Structure 1
Amino acid sequence: MKEKYRLRNWSEYNQGLKQRGSLTFWISEDTLSHWLVTEKSGKKGASNYFSSQAILTFLMVKSL
């Protein structure tokens, strides 16, 4: 017969469920310093807000 496991620390169990699937990563200072585009493109329409480096960084994270 299978033994029953009694959960006694519900707050720790719930915290573990909240953090499941959580991912923490660090981005270098060099990447962050070039994160946003500050100059205008000179073309019609809105200029890019994020740099190509920022977009490539998150595409790499997405592929992982």
Structure 2
Amino acid sequence: MAKQKYQVTNWPAYNESLRQRGDLTIWVKDEALSLWTARRRTSRGGQPKYSDLAITLCLTL
């Protein structure tokens, strides 16, 4: 099968389509967003920013 050749005539639209090619939109419920930040640590050490739920979600995606 031969490759087809395309002549780009609208470079701004072509560049924008390349930028949007890898976009992924995710809707998260408000209940999940309320659990997004981590609880404050009671022991010594740095404070975590994200909860285990947030980290697990990002790793799953």
Tell me, yes or no, whether TM beats 0.5: yes
Unaligned 5+ segments in structure 2 are none
Q: Aligned letter for 2:55?
A: I
Q: CA deviation at 1:4?
A: 5.3
> In the alignment, what sits opposite 1:50?
50
Instruction: Map Cα deviations across residues 7-48 of structure 1 (whole Å, 9 max, x no partner).
Output: 22222111111112122111121110111124x322111132
Q: Count matched residues.
A: 59
Structure 2 residue 59 is the aligned partner of structure 1 residue 41: no
- CA 1:12–1:41 in structure 2 vs 1: closer, same or farther (change >3 Å)? same
Unaligned 5+ segments in structure 1 are none
2: CA distance between counterparts of 1:52 and 1:4? Answer: 48
RMSD: 2.2
- Determine what percentage of the aligned residue pairs are the same residue: 37
The TM-score, its normalising length taken from structure 1, stands at 0.70
1: CA distance between counterparts of 2:23 and 2:51? Answer: 26
